[in-house]
Structure 1
Amino acid sequence: MEGDTFSGLGNGSSQLDGKAMQSFQKSFGQVQNILDQNRLLINEINQNQESKIPQGPHNLSRNVGLIRELNNNIRSVVDLYSHLSTSFTKSMDVASSEGDSSGAFKSDGHKRRRPAS
């Protein structure tokens, strides 16, 4: 199902081209990698927080660095999603402006109407 993220968006000229799909999949892969890193960082932060070892101040200072890294990762995910949103909107606008006789929906969710002849 992972590769089917954008399946069913349309067909013919309204379908996202291969290059755009590869770009989306690459971005989603980057997001997933960052989220996996965040999971590991959070686990380490929690372990340091719960540690009974007398090196408490060391664990605390280590957590400060880990939390900074976590915050930077979250910023990166936000930036990637922002870029994805912009790219997707542009792709859908291009697809809807190419003209589609199937009566496909535009990116704003409204059905295109053909002008009366």
Structure 2
Amino acid sequence: MRDHAFSSGSLELLADVNAPGSSAAAADERTAGPLRPSGHRLAGFRSTLSEVAVEEGATPVNAVVRVVSATTGYQMVDTDGAVLGAGAPSRPQPLRLVLVSVDGQWRVSDILAVHGSG
């Protein structure tokens, strides 16, 4: 859903991904904020998650999931589809996603780097 929000310009969908007031929401807002008033979007933006594993200690209201995340390259386009710039793909990186239950739905609260791997 996050990929679709950025690639389509439907940035309101980020509320269905991130916990309200969380550091994950703030991080996505740093990207989404400049896009909102202009209607620009990140065409072709996609992320892949691999090596997904839930860490021990999960409860019905919070969990930590280890993943390896990478993103594709993308083009920033305006409302007419004109290319304004480009973003490079990211290398795969290990992360820990801190999830919380919000109204019975899992939301991302924090995204933490995994140190000392690889």
In which range does the TM-score fall when normalised by the shorter chain? under 0.3
Whose RCO is larger (CA < 8 A, sep 6+)?
1
Task: Give the structure-2-normalised TM-score.
Answer: 0.24
Task: Give the structure-1-normalised TM-score.
Answer: 0.24
Greater fraction of residues in helix: 1
